[in-house]
Amino acid sequence: MSRGGWLLGRLVQIIPTFLLIGVAVFVLARLLPGDVVSAMLGDRGTDAAIANLKHQLGLDRSILAQFATFAAAALHGHFGMSLAFQIPVTRLIAERLPVTLMLTGMAVVIAVVLALPLAFVAATKANRWPDLLIRAVFQVGLSSPIFYVGLVLLTVFAAWLRVFPVGGYGATLGDHLYHLFLPALTLALSLSAIIMRNLRASILQVLEAEYVDFARAKGLRGRVILLRHVLRNALIATVTLLGLQVGSLLGGAVITESVFAVPGVGRLMVDSIFARDYPVIQALTLVLAILVSLAFLVTDIVQMWLDPRIGR
């Protein structure tokens, strides 16, 4: 199979995933306890006012009719009006999504910068004191809950030392990077521990391969062997793991954005669930599903570049 055919097959596989997620999120959103109309009108809402608002929102129709309207609108990229914010859902997500994308992107970069060199040190000094120290330090970040790590970083660097702001997003690109550094570091600590341990194990396994012994026999320097032969093959498993962690990163962003008061889609999802804002919940879930699916696709493409045998 050619690489183009393989890539087309991966794109086709995403379609049923979106359909199943669309059905699941539509049903689950309506299984949430409480009534959005009663929440919007409050305790003073009369039966007539409740019935009138349900009719305006289309909530008095059958489930099948509501799903048909939802599916048709989703195909055209229109998700209606937010019941809680009273603005178009597409506009609301477009304002919040770049914040979360920048946050998760920064978290990935910080995690890779932390994990990659330390994994090499730990693998080349296996079972010696540098390896034991690196694994022990990363184990703390791996075993600590995200909300606890966020509160500690917020207390130390924002409240005590006042090096970083306690929350917000800023106005310029520099402000964005400055405000999002602590939230991104919170997400990156646990991710970097996972990447480091996986990459260390992969490097140790590749170092025992015959082609590495052959490269040493040819007289190649250790740095050349590590960068040209070991790293590329060791990264295959790590890239797969990093792609699988995208969903966990987005889930962690919900907690992190709440702790640091970051106006991203994670915080928007929490607010929408409490407000029973069905259009926003449905649209956000679909958007996040698309992002995760695209991340898996990018992961497969990178794997194919690292190992050309995958696309055959």
- Residue 2 has a pLDDT of 63
Q: Looking at per-residue confidence, does 203 or 40 come out higher?
A: 203
- Residue 279 has a pLDDT of 81
Task: State the pTM of this model.
Answer: 0.81
Average pLDDT of the chain, as a whole number: 81
Highest average pLDDT, of 76-80, 92-96, 247-251, 307-311, comes from 92-96
Cβ(288)–Cβ(254) below 8 Å: no
- Residue 269 has a pLDDT of 86
* Pair of tokens at residue 22: 């669309």
**pLDDT grade for 88, boundaries at 50, 70 and 90:** confident
Helix axes 129-143, 173-207, angle to 10 degrees: 130
- Residue 278 has a pLDDT of 77
Helix axes 265-274, 278-306, angle to 10 degrees: 150
Q: Looking at per-residue confidence, does 236 or 227 come out higher?
A: 236
Residues 264-284 as b or e (16 or more Cβ within 10 Å = b): bbbbbbeebeebbbbbbbbbb
pLDDT tens-place string over residues 132-191: 899 888 888 778 888 888 888 888 898 898 888 888 887 888 889 999 999 999 999 888
pLDDT tens-place string over residues 231-256: 778 888 888 888 888 878 887 888 88
Query: What's the angle, vertex CA 238, arms to CA 190 and CA 287, rounded to 5?
Result: 70
**Residue 1 above 60 pLDDT?**
no
**Domains located in the chain, CATH noted:** 89-311 (1.10.3720.10)
- Choose the weakest-confidence range: 8-22, 33-47, 154-168: 33-47
- Residue 102 has a pLDDT of 92
- Residue 180 has a pLDDT of 92
**Residue 271 above 80 pLDDT?**
yes
3-state secondary structure of 185: helix
pLDDT, mean of residues 39-55: 69
